[in-house]
């Protein structure tokens, strides 16, 4: 099949099929000129996963479409012709992208064609005829930069695509349903809804974007959180189709960790509440119910997979709810300590004034989803407000402790048990900050000491975790030394010599233990 035979007018009479195609174009509100349409049709023969096509024909096609650029530059050029030519450049780029794996010199050919594509569509993207190819084009260019390990350029291109999608969807009633040329050229192509196709590309772009942000590290953490939230928001509406419930829940808890790191409690709580809703709605299983002995092996396998997903989802949700409660206890205690210090009042005022000058940050919430599905707070005692009194702290403390003890009682995996014990130590530590009574502080700190030895059997392979546990030992003993020193200051050795001696002995004991574990930590034993 030669390029000339397909691409040049007058080579053959217009067939009935071509007339029907033309009518289809008119019905779909797009009608390119026959020459450009034929060239675009040829370009589809080079797309797909196969790389065994005639590369000379591809070169000829490139030469031919460049001849159209002179006519395209005219002000009277129809948008239909521009979009169809842009699609042709996209298809050629896709072909080069496939063979780039083996021939690096083809990268320039791929980039040249996709830039032609995007240049043709510049300032014309927000149109039902061009939005799909515009998003696909940005995605392909971002993929090329990704392959070249140029994360900054890839992120910039993906960001533009996200902005285009958002702008189009905000005014979708005005722009109309996106049109895919391939549906018209190939009648047997699966005709997905235009919005569905656009959303599918958008999800791929967001997935690529979050991956690039991870590679860039903490410098792009806020952008990573925002794009990840946008991905979760879009994927939520796809859950009943793809059934990836656990993956969605896991991603939501990971974003929650990042949000808590920045004390963004309202947003973290929204993510946890919706993740818990997904678990209750789609992965709810009665663990006490015995599995049926009857049924096909396929049904048993499906039931077993669902059970495993449900258990894993429950583990990560319980641990993340506990993490939320612990972070809230800690940050609230630190905030109360700052407020109690008169010297920090002016500093707090200056900080608040600086914050007020900043641009207001859009909250990453699931407001519409929570409203639509009537999603309420999973635990009423855990809110997005800072804890301001002892009773509120104790209520949060008891809830977190109960959650962590429950997950340990269920004989979970060793890793889960270790994580639960570490969090139990933390919840004791931060609750002790709310205790005004010295003896109550010592009781909570001693409970940390009793839990920590249970973690000393960590496998040697987990060296980082093992060092962390030794450091926690040293810090806990150090806290007990500080608490006992405070107690010693209130004891008069003249009237209570035995009491004074006992406190000194406690100080010596915890000082010796703390130094021992600190030395092990430093020596990396």
CA dihedral of 159, 162, 168, 170, whole degrees rounded to 10: -110
The average pLDDT across 335-343 equals: 78
**pLDDT attached to residue 519:** 86
Using a 10 angstrom Cβ sphere, with 0-12 exposed, 13-18 middle and 19 or more buried, the burial of residue 351 is exposed
Residue 508, C-beta contacts closer than 8 angstroms, at least 6 positions apart: none
pTM: 0.80
CB neighbour list of residue 496: distance below 8 Å, 6 or more residues apart: none
Residue whose C-alpha is closest to residue 426's, from 313, 316, 324: 324
| pLDDT tens-digit series, residues 169-181 | 999 999 999 998 8
* CB within 8 Å of 413: residues ≥ 6 apart: none
pLDDT at 500 over 60: yes
As a whole number, mean pLDDT of residues 306-324 equals 92
**Tokens encoding 324:** 């939320």
**What's the pLDDT tens digit per position in 414-460?**
777 888 888 998 999 999 999 988 888 889 888 888 887 766 666 65
Q: What six digits make up the tokens of 302? A: 């499906």
pLDDT digits (tens, 9 = 90+) for 342-391: 555 544 554 454 444 455 568 999 999 999 999 999 998 899 999 999 99
State the Cα–Cα distance between residues 317 and 326, nearest whole angstrom. 14
Query: 84 to each of 13, 31, 105, 334, how far by Cα in Å?
Result: 22, 9, 27, 61
pLDDT one-digit tens code per residue, 131-158? 999 999 999 999 999 988 899 999 999 9
Residue 286 confidence (pLDDT): 56
**CB atoms < 10 A from the CB of 5, how many?**
11
């Amino acid at each position: 099949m030669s390029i000339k035979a397909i691409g040049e007018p007058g080579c053959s009479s217009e067939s009935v099929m071509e007339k029907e195609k033309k009518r289809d174009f008119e019905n779909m509100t797009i009608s390119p000129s026959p020459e450009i349409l034929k060239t675009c049709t040829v370009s589809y023969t080079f797309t797909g996963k196969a790389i065994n096509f005639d590369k000379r024909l591809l070169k000829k096609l490139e030469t031919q479409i460049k001849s159209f650029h002179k006519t395209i530059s005219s002000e009277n050029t129809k948008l239909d012709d521009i979009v169809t030519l842009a699609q042709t450049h996209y298809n050629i780029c896709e072909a080069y992208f496939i063979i780039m794996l083996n021939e690096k010199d083809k990268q320039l050919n791929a980039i040249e064609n996709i830039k032609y594509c995007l240049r043709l569509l510049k300032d014309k993207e927000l149109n039902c005829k061009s939005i799909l190819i515009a998003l696909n084009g940005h995605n392909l260019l971002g993929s090329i930069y990704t392959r070249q390990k140029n994360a900054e350029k890839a992120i910039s291109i993906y960001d533009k695509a996200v902005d285009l999608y958002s702008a189009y969807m905000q005014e979708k009633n005005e722009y109309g349903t996106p049109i895919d040329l391939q549906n018209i050229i190939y009648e047997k192509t699966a005709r997905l809804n235009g919005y569905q196709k656009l959303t599918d590309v958008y999800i791929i772009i967001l997935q690529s974007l979050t991956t690039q942000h991870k590679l860039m590290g903490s410098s792009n953490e806020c952008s990573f959180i925002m794009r990840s939230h946008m991905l979760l928001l879009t994927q939520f509406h796809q859950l009943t189709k793809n059934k990836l419930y656990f993956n969605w829940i896991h991603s939501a808890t990971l974003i929650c960790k990042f949000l808590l790191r920045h004390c963004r409690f309202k947003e973290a709580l929204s993510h946890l509440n919706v993740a818990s809703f997904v678990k209750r709605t789609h992965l709810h299983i009665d663990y006490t119910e015995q599995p049926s002995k009857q049924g096909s092996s396929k049904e048993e396998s499906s039931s077993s997979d669902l059970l495993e997903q449900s258990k894993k989802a429950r583990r990560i949700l319980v641990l993340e709810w506990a993490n939320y409660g612990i972070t809230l206890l800690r940050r609230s205690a630190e905030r109360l300590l700052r407020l109690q210090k008169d010297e920090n009042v002016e500093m707090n005022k200056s900080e608040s004034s600086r914050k007020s000058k900043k641009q207001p940050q859009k909250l990453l919430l699931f407001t519409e989803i929570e409203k639509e599905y009537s999603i309420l707070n999973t635990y009423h005692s855990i809110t997005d407000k800072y804890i301001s009194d002892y009773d509120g702290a104790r209520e949060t403390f008891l809830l977190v402790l109960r959650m962590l003890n429950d997950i340990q009682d269920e004989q979970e995996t060793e890793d889960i048990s270790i994580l639960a014990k570490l969090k139990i130590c933390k919840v004791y530590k931060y609750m002790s900050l709310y205790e005004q009574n010295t003896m109550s502080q010592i009781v909570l700190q001693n409970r940390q000491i009793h839990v920590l030895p249970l973690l000393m059997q960590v496998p040697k392979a987990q060296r980082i975790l093992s060092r962390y546990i030794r450091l926690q030992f040293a810090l806990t003993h150090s806290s007990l030394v500080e608490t006992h020193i405070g107690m010693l200051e209130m004891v008069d050795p003249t009237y209570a010599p035995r009491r004074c001696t006992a406190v000194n002995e406690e100080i010596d004991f915890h000082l010796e233990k703390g130094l021992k574990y600190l030395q092990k930590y430093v020596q990396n034993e």
